[in-house]
Amino acid sequence: MINVLFISISGNTRAFAQHLQQFAKTAHEADAQAPLIALKEISDATQSTGETEPFFVLVPTYLDGGNGIDNGVKELMTTAMGDYLAEPGNAELCRGIIGSGNRNFNEQYCLTAKRYAAEFNAPFLADYELRGTDADAAHIYQVMRDTLAI
Ligand SMILES: Cc1cc2nc3c(=O)[nH]c(=O)nc-3n(C[C@H](O)[C@H](O)[C@H](O)COP(=O)(O)O)c2cc1C
């Protein structure tokens, strides 16, 4: 089983997470070795119970101001995920961060995922735009399998 935590404000990341889960289900039906995906949505209402198994994070990007390189940015909307990862013991189990966003934001494209990767000492594994594509789901599923060596 691959555990995936995600946060979604306008539904794109939720749609991609479900797409990824369906991709895994189809792969599992064809090959029992292919792991299924368990999803967990994080929101402002989430009370941390403490993660006990390795997991991956899908996080979209909502930033105000700056480019994050020569001046600062302020994270909006997604801070519940950062707070969750900062809970004792959680970040240590994070095997990687997958970012999403919109390339129109140039240097800020997927910047929240990159900032989390640095802050929580986890690899930035992949990125996709908006709701992602079939190719994104296939690629990200494979990256997760490779990372866990399953
Ligand atoms: C107010 C606002 C700010 C955004 N800022 C960024 C940004 O800085 N970088 C980026 O790559 N995408 C940015 N986006 C695009 C979102 O990350 C993208 O639409 C994402 O798919 C939203 O995911 P969600 O529907 O799961 O909330 C922004 C979108 C909005 C509405």
User: What are the pLDDT digits (tens) for 30-39?
Assistant: 999 999 999 9
Residue 14 backbone phi and psi in degrees, to 5: -60, -45
* 64 against 99, higher pLDDT: 99
Average pLDDT over residues 137-150: 98
Quickly list H helices, 10-100: 12-30, 79-86
Nearest CA to ligand 1 atom 15: 101
Residue 141 has a pLDDT of 98
* pLDDT exceeds cutoff 80 at 21: yes
Residue 49 has a pLDDT of 82
Cα 149 to averaged position of ligand 1 atoms, centre (Å): 31
* pLDDT exceeds cutoff 70 at 68: no
Residue 33 backbone phi and psi in degrees, to 5: -75, -20
Domain hosting 12: range is: 2-148
Q: What percent of the chain has pLDDT over 70?
A: 96
Q: How far is Cα of residue 29 from the mean position of the Cα atoms in its chain?
A: 24
User: What are the pLDDT digits (tens) for 90-132?
Assistant: 999 999 999 999 999 998 999 999 999 999 999 999 999 999 9
Interface confidence (ipTM) of the complex: 0.99
- Stretch (H or E) spanning 146: helix 134-148
Cα 146 to averaged position of ligand 1 atoms, centre (Å): 28
Answer yes or no: are the C-beta atoms of 110 and 99 closer than 8 Å: yes
Q: How many CB atoms lie within 10 A of CB 14?
A: 18
Nearest CA to ligand 1 atom 18: 101
Residue 139 has a pLDDT of 98
Ligand 1 proximal residues by C-beta, below 6 Å = 8-14, 60-63, 100-102, 105, 108-111, 130
What is the residue-wise DSSP string for 81-95?
HHHHHHSTTTGGGEE
The CATH number of the domain holding residue 125 is 3.40.50.360
What span, in angstroms and rounded, lies between the C-alpha atoms of 135 and 102?
17
* pLDDT exceeds cutoff 80 at 72: no
* pLDDT exceeds cutoff 90 at 143: yes
Q: For the chain, what is the domain count? A: 1
Starting at the edge strand found earlier in the chain, the sheet holding 124-129 runs 37-41, 2-6, 55-59, 94-101, 124-129
